[in-house]
Amino acid sequence: MTDRFSRLARRLAAIVGTTLIAASTGSVVAAPAHAADCTPAQVIANGGFESGSSPWTSSSGVITSGGGQSAHGGSSFAWLNGYGSSHTDTLSQTVTLPAGCTSASLSFWLHIDTAETTTTTAYDKLTAKIGSTTLATYSNLNAAAGYVQKTFDVSAFAGQSVTVSFSGVEDSGLQTSFVLDDLALDVSGGGTTPPPTTDPTRTPAAPGYTVSLSSDATGANWSGHESIGFTNASAAPLNEVYLRLWDNYHGSCPTTPITVTNLTGGTAGALSVNCTAMKVTLPAPLAQGQSGTVAFDLSIAVPSGADRFGRDGSFNFIGNALPVLAVRDAAGWHLDPYTNNGESFYALASDYSVTLDHPTSLQVPATGTSVDTPGSSGRTVTKATASKVREFAWAAGPFTKISGTSTAGVKLNVYSVSGISTTDAQSMLSTAKSAIDSHATRFGAYPYGEVDTVLDNNFWFGGMEYPGFVLDLVSTTALTHELGHQWWYGIVGDDEYTSPWLDEAFTDYSTDLALGKTGTNCWNSVSWASSAEKITNSMAYWDANSSRYSTVVYGYGKCALHDLRRLIGDSAMTTLLHDYAQAHWYGVSTTAEFKAAAQKATTTDLTSFWTQHRIEG
């Protein structure tokens, strides 16, 4: 096991170094035209409408989150018509399809319901267009239960700025509702880079986790059932999936704290990667677009120790305990080892429905939005739901809870172990309110509605992030940092083992901005330990060179971003990070994609900048 103090040092020391908020007078400069390579990207911003109305243009009330309709994913959607009277609604966004990309595909999820009874006459119509080209027209005759995905090849518009638009026209009687959600316009192809030898599509896609667990009297032992639904998004058949049982790192393999039994939906293989991976061979290969489900009984035993998975007296912290699907992409299956120095986790945006049955004496903060109902005698059932999150974590214990709401409307809960003063808890609540709104202003509205902060001064680390749920010491800087992770790793995902700088450096830079710190000359203190040391090295390198992890990934990483801001200008950097977050909302960021986005934000050739700052990829 890596020296635990090194993680504490990098969580605390690295996020309090000399750093700099942007000055305020830079200007956006035009980006140069690049005719060669195409960086695959998704160019519609806020396609799930979870960040409000921007940059959409729409009729009043079209982008909403209630009224009797429901979202395909998240909580918001676009609802055109449904008035039962003569009415026209519109929705549009102008996007640019990069010139170097030769393939483009527009997709959206559409739900239609109607009060019309005719089976022959289209009274109410929705028209979908790109530019002046009509892609399709739908009507009350297409009404059906649930959402249906529509996909169109729009490659002919490569290199153009075009408007994607929808127009709904309703006649004078009987309503028809056209509900849109999760729009995407994916571009790829072209350029001089040959395609990968394997399919780069990340799969299994759109995982849905349904979990029901019951605890003992202490909240340290849980048992129950988990089911995982998924779809093969790849053109390559899916013959197997892998479960990551991350917290088995904390046991002595094969004696493990996470136990999977009675698996259905496939054949379980032997545990591998120090008991943190289980291969599940599917009954038959899944072709592209086909779905499968695996389910199993699950038991969890929380070990002693104030850890991200551990027990401090009567307080239990349960991070990374639920088995999750590994990801397959162009590199194959990602079966990296657990690291205690940082994070190994790489997961796609997923939906969770988790039911936790526990003694009423225990508070159970958790990822997502929770609703408590009475259980059997002396017990409470906490139902937590979360949409499009990377993972799920919770805690259990006799915490003291205080709550508040940020100016932007995010509900914030602070749970404290015994020994945390009321003053400290209130201070951390104020910090959380300020931090969550500050990050949202820069990168896009926080989409999950609620955040739980769990405080314990015995943690050996400064803080640990999970979606809507963070573990923290009483530290303004640490909490601001962990809440920044809601965007950098949470909303904008990355492979944390292969590219830890994409979440840690970006989050530390965001922390600087939120706390008003400056970064003047912060790059001047850089001193490389060897020619092999780079900001973009993987956790395999940092586990072998753990004393340098904090310095380089956190410190040098955020200083490189400050240097980039100084080079391209404050306004350009602000726009770059905001637009980059929007373009990768619920997706996955890579170093290559960020470098390409940064280059497009400036007329300055950044080649020497990446070399100087040792940012490769």
Query: What pLDDT is recorded for position 14?
Result: 42
> Residue holding tokens 């699950």?
298
Among the listed residues 191, 247, 454, 232, the one whose alpha carbon sits nearest the alpha carbon of residue 327: 232
User: Which contiguous run of DSSP H or E holds residue 497?
Assistant: none
Q: Tell me the whole-structure pTM to 2 decimals.
A: 0.70
d(CA 150, CA 168): 16
Looking at the predicted structure, is the pLDDT value of residue 9 above 50?
Answer: no
Q: 238 CB contacts (<8 Å, ≥6 apart)?
A: 203, 204, 232, 282, 285, 286, 290, 292, 328
Share of the chain above pLDDT 70, in %: 92
Looking at the predicted structure, is the pLDDT value of residue 17 above 60?
Answer: no
Query: What pLDDT is recorded for position 274?
Result: 87
Looking at the predicted structure, is the pLDDT value of residue 230 above 70?
Answer: yes
Among the listed residues 300, 242, 293, the one whose alpha carbon sits nearest the alpha carbon of residue 271: 242
Q: 535 CB contacts (<8 Å, ≥6 apart)?
A: 501, 505, 552, 553, 556, 557, 560, 613, 614, 615
Q: Which strands make up the sheet holding 309-312, listed edge to edge?
A: 309-312, 315-318, 394-396
Share of the chain above pLDDT 90, in %: 79
Q: What's the token pair of residue 420?
A: 């945390």
Query: What pLDDT is recorded for position 40?
Result: 66
Query: What pLDDT is recorded for position 38?
Result: 59
Among the listed residues 528, 448, 433, the one whose alpha carbon sits nearest the alpha carbon of residue 479: 433
Average pLDDT on 512-519 reads 92
Write the pLDDT tens digit of every residue in 286-296.
999 999 999 99
d(CA 267, CA 427): 51
In 467-557, DSSP assigns E strands to 469-472
Average pLDDT on 25-40 reads 39
Query: What pLDDT is recorded for position 73?
Result: 80
User: CA Rg, the chain, in Å?
Assistant: 24
Distances (CA, A) of 495 to 186, 390, 500, 564, 588: 20, 11, 7, 23, 8
Query: What pLDDT is recorded for position 37?
Result: 55
Under the banding of pLDDT at 50, 70 and 90, the label for residue 198 is low
Write the pLDDT tens digit of every residue in 308-354.
999 999 999 999 999 999 999 988 899 999 999 999 999 999 999 99
Looking at the predicted structure, is the pLDDT value of residue 6 above 90?
Answer: no
Write the pLDDT tens digit of every residue in 174-191.
999 999 998 988 777 654
d(CA 400, CA 422): 9
Looking at the predicted structure, is the pLDDT value of residue 10 above 80?
Answer: no
Average pLDDT on 458-486 reads 97
Looking at the predicted structure, is the pLDDT value of residue 265 above 80?
Answer: yes
Under the banding of pLDDT at 50, 70 and 90, the label for residue 264 is very high
Q: At 42, which amino acid appears?
A: Q
Looking at the predicted structure, is the pLDDT value of residue 557 above 60?
Answer: yes
Orientation of helix 422-443 relative to helix 476-484, angle to 10°? 40
CB 470 within 8 A of CB 412: no
Looking at the predicted structure, is the pLDDT value of residue 24 above 80?
Answer: no
Query: What pLDDT is recorded for position 189?
Result: 64
Looking at the predicted structure, is the pLDDT value of residue 22 above 70?
Answer: no
d(CA 408, CA 77): 19
Under the banding of pLDDT at 50, 70 and 90, the label for residue 228 is very high
Query: What pLDDT is recorded for position 21?
Result: 29
Write the pLDDT tens digit of every residue in 440-468.
999 999 999 899 999 999 999 999 999 99
Average pLDDT on 568-592 reads 97
Distances (CA, A) of 19 to 436, 467, 477, 566: 20, 26, 12, 13
Least confidently predicted of 95-109, 313-327, 527-541, 554-568: 95-109
Average pLDDT on 68-96 reads 93
Q: Is 307 buried (19+), middle (13-18) or exposed (0-12) by CB count in 10 A?
A: buried
Query: What pLDDT is recorded for position 39?
Result: 65
Query: What pLDDT is recorded for position 154?
Result: 85
Under the banding of pLDDT at 50, 70 and 90, the label for residue 19 is very low
Mean residue pLDDT of the chain comes to 90
Looking at the predicted structure, is the pLDDT value of residue 370 above 90?
Answer: yes
Looking at the predicted structure, is the pLDDT value of residue 13 above 60?
Answer: no
Query: What pLDDT is recorded for position 35?
Result: 35
b/e sequence 537-547, b meaning 16+ C-beta within 10 Å: bbbebbbebbe
